[in-house]
Structure 1
Amino acid sequence: MAQEKESPLLEALKKAVIDFDTENIEALCHEYLDLGLDANKAVFEGLIPGMLEVGRLYEEQVYFIPEMLMCAETLYKGLEIFQPHMTSSVQNACGKILIGVVEGDVHDIGKNLVKLMFEISGYEVTDLGRDVPVEVFLKTALKNDFDLVCMSSMMSTTMYEMKGLIQKLKEKKPDLKVMIGGSPVTKLHAIKWRADGYAPDAHKALSVVQQMLNTAKLIDEQRKQKT
């Protein structure tokens, strides 16, 4: 019986975020948990897809800042209820991530959604914001012990800032992982510019990062065993 209600409830959670339905989100969350259903699934297949759709509506100028803020409030109400019930594999994800939008680009909705995905999963995220000068990216990345640097651009005129930044990061810190993304960015760009990872959207970004950091840790452990 519970499984039959799961899909409709996931859709209802998604819709509540899109419709910024703060009045009903709590009741939906408690109904979902009372059925003994997976809290991780509620977040990653209910709440987050709702916020991703909100991001799309914002970029298409269907929604504006007030709607975005109300949707975010609804999302966080749901997260507050679900997070204590999420499995340890998500809560205890470890890694320090630096994220920001490259210089000249002020579009940060995609970056904010990616950051949200990382934080929900337990990563420690430092957000440089938007229109970040190369020098700030470099200074912050090299001064601190980050496992990953994520940079995004939503404009074809600014995405090439990534190429030079990646080159400088790799020269100074060869083992530092770098992931890039944004609507004009492709996997081919990532390969050409020597980025370690690429993600076309926020949902994919999380799985790419988990795979990258897990692989890096495994390699590091094997290296230590040999020495």
Structure 2
Amino acid sequence: MRVDNFESLIKDALNQGLKPIEILNSLRSAMAEVGKRFEIGRYFLSELIMAGEMMKDALKILMPLLQVTAPSLKGRIVIGTIEGDLHDIGKDIVLILLTSAGFDVYDLGIDVPPKKFVEKAKEMDADVIGISALLSTTIPRASEVVKMLEERGLRERIKVILGGAAVRKRYEEEFGVDAAVDDAIEGLNLIMSWVEVG
């Protein structure tokens, strides 16, 4: 697909009545497939980067159309993409949703060591740590964050959510996280349910 046609395809889909969240979910699935193909060597880094840039262009169109507001909600969240993973699309979607919902969100960026999640959460007195991971090889590192929280006596008061297109529900038990989701809206709803409305 040519990059210059991509934005017009997004606009066409909207004009045909598709909801922004439906388009976003389809694009998320496509990005997951790109990630898989990159992992097995069928796609190269240049193709991964191009897909990421196309997704960012789509987000510029779609995110303003998503109506998510809850200004009375208070909560502090640390979010980042786990070490070894350079993908930021999913994280950026969640970041926008959380910010627009009234959360105080600190973005650690990409390729974040587990220790940095814990240190920042402690410094901010965060309610939630959000770990983004697209690559199946990086997902297990979420358990390191949980272990460090336990070692520092912070686990009882800080919830941990793992998100990404390759994330499965069973990872909650496998890696000790409070939630494992593959959908940004589901993640937002869970976080909202965890944090007191004040």
DSSP 3-state at the match of 1:37: coil
State TM-score, norm by structure 2. Answer: 0.71
Cα pair distance change 1:90/1:63, threshold 3 Å: farther
Q: Structure 1: how far apart are the matches of 2:157 and 2:138?
A: 28
Contact 1:91-1:121 at 8 Å conserved across structures: no
DSSP 3-state at the match of 2:68: helix
Instruction: Point out the structure with max Rg over C-alpha.
Output: 1
**CA deviation after TM superposition for structure 1 residue 118, in Å:** 0.8
Contiguous gaps of at least 5 residues in structure 2:
100-104
Q: Give 2:33's aligned residue.
A: 53
Q: Give 1:197's aligned residue.
A: 179
Contiguous gaps of at least 5 residues in structure 1:
1-18
Q: Give 1:82's aligned residue.
A: 62
Write the letter of the residue equivalent to 1:178: V
**CA deviation after TM superposition for structure 1 residue 156, in Å:** 9.0
Runs of 4+ in 1 over 6 A off after TM superposition: 181-185
**CA deviation after TM superposition for structure 1 residue 67, in Å:** 0.9
Q: Give 1:143's aligned residue.
A: 123
Cα pair distance change 1:158/1:82, threshold 3 Å: closer
Q: Structure 2: how far apart are the matches of 1:44 and 1:168?
A: 37
**CA deviation after TM superposition for structure 1 residue 211, in Å:** 3.3
Contact 1:118-1:125 at 8 Å conserved across structures: no
Contact 2:172-2:180 at 8 Å conserved across structures: yes
Does 1:154 find its partner at 2:130? Answer: no
Q: Structure 2: how far apart are the matches of 1:22 and 1:117?
A: 20
Per-residue displacement from partner, 1:95-122 (whole Å, max 9, x unpaired)?
Answer: 6332242xxx52444xx34313313534
Q: Structure 1: how far apart are the matches of 2:28 and 2:130?
A: 20
Does 1:35 find its partner at 2:16? Answer: yes
Write the letter of the residue equivalent to 1:197: A
**CA deviation after TM superposition for structure 1 residue 187, in Å:** 3.0
Q: Give 1:174's aligned residue.
A: 156
Equivalent residue in structure 1 for 2:172, among 179, 183, 187: 187
Does 1:44 find its partner at 2:25? Answer: yes
Q: Structure 2: how far apart are the matches of 1:108 and 1:32?
A: 29
Q: Structure 1: how far apart are the matches of 2:28 and 2:70?
A: 16
State TM-score, norm by structure 1. Answer: 0.64
Cα pair distance change 1:212/1:175, threshold 3 Å: farther
Q: Structure 1: how far apart are the matches of 2:81 and 2:16?
A: 39
Does 1:214 find its partner at 2:195? Answer: no
Contact 1:154-1:183 at 8 Å conserved across structures: no
Higher RCO (CA 8 Å, separation ≥ 6 residues): 2
Q: Structure 2: how far apart are the matches of 1:79 and 1:91?
A: 21
Contact 2:118-2:145 at 8 Å conserved across structures: no
Write the letter of the residue equivalent to 1:214: M
Contact 1:99-1:126 at 8 Å conserved across structures: yes
Q: Give 1:15's aligned residue.
A: none
1:123-138 superposed matches below 5 A: 123=99, 124-130=105-111, 132=113, 134=115, 136-138=116-118
Q: Give 1:5's aligned residue.
A: none
- Aligned pair count? 184
Per-residue displacement from partner, 1:185-226 (whole Å, max 9, x unpaired)?
Answer: 833224xx4x32224xxx34x245223212223xx34xx7xx
Q: Per residue, is there more helix in 1 or in 2?
A: 1
**CA deviation after TM superposition for structure 1 residue 66, in Å:** 0.9
Q: Percent identity?
A: 18
Contact 1:147-1:213 at 8 Å conserved across structures: no
